[in-house]
Every structure is written in structure tokens, then in C-alpha cells.
Amino acid sequence: MENNKKLHVGLIFGGNSSEHDVSKRSAHNIYDAMDKSKYDVSLFLVTKGGYFLGHDASSRVFDGEPEDEVAKQELSKLDKRNPLAPILNLGEVSDIDVFFPIIHGNLGEDGTIQGLLRLLQKPYVGSGVLGSAMSFDKDITKKILKIAGVPTTRYKLLTPLTAERYTYERLSKELGSILFVKPANQGSSVGIHKVESQEAYSEAIRDAFRYDSKVLVEEAIEGPEELEISILGNHHPIASKVGAIKVPASDAFYTYDNKFVDASKVEFDVPVSIPVALAQQLTKMGLDSYRALGLKGMARIDFLVSQDGKPYVSEVNTLPGFTNISLYPQLFAASGISYSELIDRLIQLANEEFERQSKILYDFKPLPPKDQDVDNK
């Protein structure tokens, strides 16, 4: 590719998860931060029903037209009997050099969109199928991190077949009187409840099972400090400085509304002033988690630090938010990497990983079989 040729980037956003509108805001920020002297950008909005819209329709939504009206007009042109109808508008991909998916939650961070882009044989920003899927599943994440020696909070896994065995009384004896109930595969605090009684526990379990067939019941860390770190890279990742989130005392935890609806009462400390030893420990835990899960491109690692200074990995986000209040770009800005430079690096990392995978898949030549001694047959 000529050095003066612009890269054509396909920005994929939206999706059918509860974080649809958050993804749209992230996409706006990424688009605005991209150096248009380097990139031509095509937009692909994934509707709440899971259909891709082409660039022109996506641009209309991007510019403020009502999404439902635009989607209705565009989808009326599709033959929905065609099993490929949801992705037909990706027919514009022929000259796209690299995709930038920024779909948060289901179908975006769980490996689904990554599998599609890999089938299309296109570079894409972020982690691959396996790393994305493992990191999105809180149960699998904890299992992998335990093997890697990274501390996480204790929990019990419930399924529809096992949930009846576990009452609040039984779990509170094992995990403590304050419990957090979480769907295993869901993002942005959706379906998460803090419970301290059987009544609240029963209601939380019912709600969590609305979102997933696996539910975690997790111990609470007393008076925790919520800290975060951003990671960037493929095989040689780097970590940002550490940031802190301080939620109002009236809120049990960092909720969806805190994150995306009304953050006026939330304080962000970027970078946060913490002991050097703790910052070093969190950096190591973040990088160890990133490597153990086989992540690429980027991730934000969330921590809980107990009152006695013990840190635990709380969550791993492989496609973190890029909204105006999102900590992933803020933390790297505080670490000396601007928003625009961050986008450049992520696209470069996507191309590097694609070239590495292509070399393995298409350039690999197995050793010829050893000559067999016919006399010894």
C-alpha cells in the first residue's frame, strides 16, 4: 500500500444490546478523533434488531435523523427470507482496509462480530474471537485469572438447574452477608444487584436470569476503592496510569446510569494518587490478565481495592467505552497518548495482528513426511 494512500476504515457501532446508544456515542467520538487526512471512514450501524445498515443510511442516523425511521426505510428494501439479510449491507466492504468495531455488550464483545470479520478476511481493531468470548463471560474470566494467579473475588455460579439449591442464607454463610448478583454475560452493570436479604436475593436472581443462563453470586469487598487501568498492544502491551471512580454514597455500585446517563455525581480521578507499590501491583495484575486471556489491541481492566489495600480484578472490558466520560481514552491521555494517536495505534495494531495471523494461516508449509524404509514395513 502506498504511503500517501488513505486507509479506508469501516466503523461498526450500535448493536442489539442494552448498550446500543452508548455505542453510538462512542462511535461519534472515535469518528471525530480520526485524522481525516489519514482515513476515509464508512459507517455501519447495527440496528437494535441486529441488521447492518449501509454507509449512507448510517450517516443519516449519525447526523441526527431518527434511527427507527431510517432503519424501517432501509430494511423494507431487504428480502428478509434471505438468511444473509442481516449482513447484506456489508456488501460495501470490498475496499475497506480495516474495521473498527465499537459495539459494546452482546454480539460486540463476546466474539460474534470478531468471527464475522475474520470470515471476511479483514483486519479489525481489538481482541480475537476467543479472547473476546472468554473476557465477556465473567465466570470464564475468573477461572482463567485464577489459573494465572490473578486475585479476583470469590463467587458461586448458578444455572437454572442449580439455582434452587442456593438460598441467600446458604451463600451468605460462605461469601458474606452482602452479595452481588450478576449475569455472567452482560456488560455495563446491566442486571447487577446488591443484596442483603432473602427477598432481595430472590428478586435479583429472577432479574439476572432474564439476561443470561449463567448467574454469578459474588462476595462484596468492604468499602472498596474502584480503580481502572487501560491496556494497549498485542504481544507487548503497555498500561496507562491508574484512574479512580468515586460513586455517590447513596449508590451501591457504579451503575449503568452513573456510566452513561447521568455522571454528574460521579467523580473521576485521572490519574489517581495512590501508593507507588499499589500502582505497580495493579499494573502487573492488569498486564497479567491481558496476557492470560490472550487479548489484543485494547482492554480496560477494573479493580476493587479493599480497605486493607488488597486489590482484586473486578472486570475485563475488551471494547471499552469511548464516550465523553469514558476512562479508557482519558487514562491514556493522562499517560501522554492523545485520543487521535490512540486511534492510530489501535488501527496499526489491527493490521499487525491480521498480518501475523495471515502468515500463520496462509504461509505455513508443513514439513514433508520422512522417507519410510520400505524394507522395514
Catalytic pick from 58, 172, 240, 326? 326
| pLDDT tens by residue, 251-302 | 554 444 544 444 556 889 999 999 999 999 999 999 999 999 999 999 999 9
Domain containing residue 65: 7-124
Burial state string for 129-163 with b = 16 or more CB within 10 A and e = fewer than 16: bebbbbbbbbbbbbebbeeeebebbebbbbeeeeb
SS3 label, residue 286 = helix
Residues 200 and 231 in one domain: no
Statement to judge: residues 93 and 185 lie in one domain: no
Which three cell numbers mark 12?
461498526
Told to judge if 164 belongs to the known catalytic residues of this protein, a careful annotator would answer: no
Q: What does DSSP assign to residue 36?
A: T
Is residue 377 assigned to a domain? no
Burial 14-48 (b: 16+ CB within 10 A, else e): bbbbbbbebbbbbbbbbbebbeeeebebbbbbbbe
pLDDT tens digits, one per residue of 21-69: 999 999 999 999 999 999 999 999 999 999 999 999 999 999 999 999 9
Residue 116 has pLDDT above 70, yes or no: yes
Residues 324 and 341 placed together within one structural domain of the fold: yes
Do 212 and 280 share a domain, yes or no?
no
- The verdict on residue 376 lying in a domain is no
- Is 345 a member of any domain? yes
- Give the burial string for 196-215 (b: 16+ CB within 10 Å, else e): eeeeebeebbebbbebbebb
Contacts of 325 (CB under 8 A, 6+ apart): 259, 260, 263, 266, 268
Q: How far is it, in rounded angstroms, from Cα 162 to Cα 179?
A: 18
In this structure, the answer to whether residues 247 and 347 fall within a common structural domain is yes
CB 167 within 8 A of CB 226: no
Q: Alpha-carbon distance 106 to 95, whole Å?
A: 27
Residues 172-181 have a mean pLDDT of 97
**Catalytic member of 18, 58, 132, 188:** 188
CATH code of the domain in which 107 resides: 3.40.50.20
In a domain? residue 366: no
Evaluate whether residue 181 is within a structural domain: yes
How many domains, the chain? 3
**Residues 354, 260 within the same domain:** yes
Is the per-residue pLDDT at 1 higher than 60? no
Average pLDDT over residues 322-348: 96
What pLDDT does residue 260 have? 43
CATH number of the domain encompassing residue 249: 3.30.470.20
Among the candidates 163, 191, 219, a domain finishes at 219
Among 17, 18, 19, 289, the one annotated catalytic? 19
Q: What is the pLDDT of residue 374?
A: 45
DSSP 8-state symbol, 109: T
Tell me what pLDDT residue 133 has. Answer: 97
**What was the pLDDT predicted at 94?**
78
Same domain, 203 and 245: no
Q: What is the CATH number of the domain that holds 189?
A: 3.30.1490.20
The chain-wide mean pLDDT, for the chain, equals: 91
Residue that finishes a domain, picked among 109, 124, 139:
124
Residue 135 lies in a domain: no
Q: Percent of the chain, pLDDT > 90?
A: 81
What mean pLDDT comes out for the span 142-157?
97
Query: Residue 129 falls within a domain, yes or no?
Result: no
User: CA 182, CA 253: separation in Å to the nearest integer?
Assistant: 12
Domain closes at, from 219, 237, 254:
219
Q: What percent of the chain has pLDDT over 70?
A: 89
Whether 326 sits among the annotated catalytic residues: the reply is yes
| Residue 92 appears among annotated catalytic residues | no
CA–CA dist 167, 190 (Å, integer): 22
Q: Judge if 52 and 160 occupy the same domain.
A: no
Assigned domain for 33 exists: yes
DSSP secondary structure letter of residue 372: P
- Residue-wise pLDDT for 67-107, tens only, equals 999 999 999 999 989 999 999 998 877 799 999 999 998 88
* Pair 198, 234 in one domain: no
251 or 146: whose pLDDT is higher?
A: 146
Are residue 104 and residue 200 in the same domain, yes or no?
A: no
Mark whether 31 and 65 lie in a shared domain: yes
Q: Residue 269 burial (CB < 10 Å; 0-12/13-18/19+)? A: middle
Are 14 and 92 contained in the same domain?
A: yes
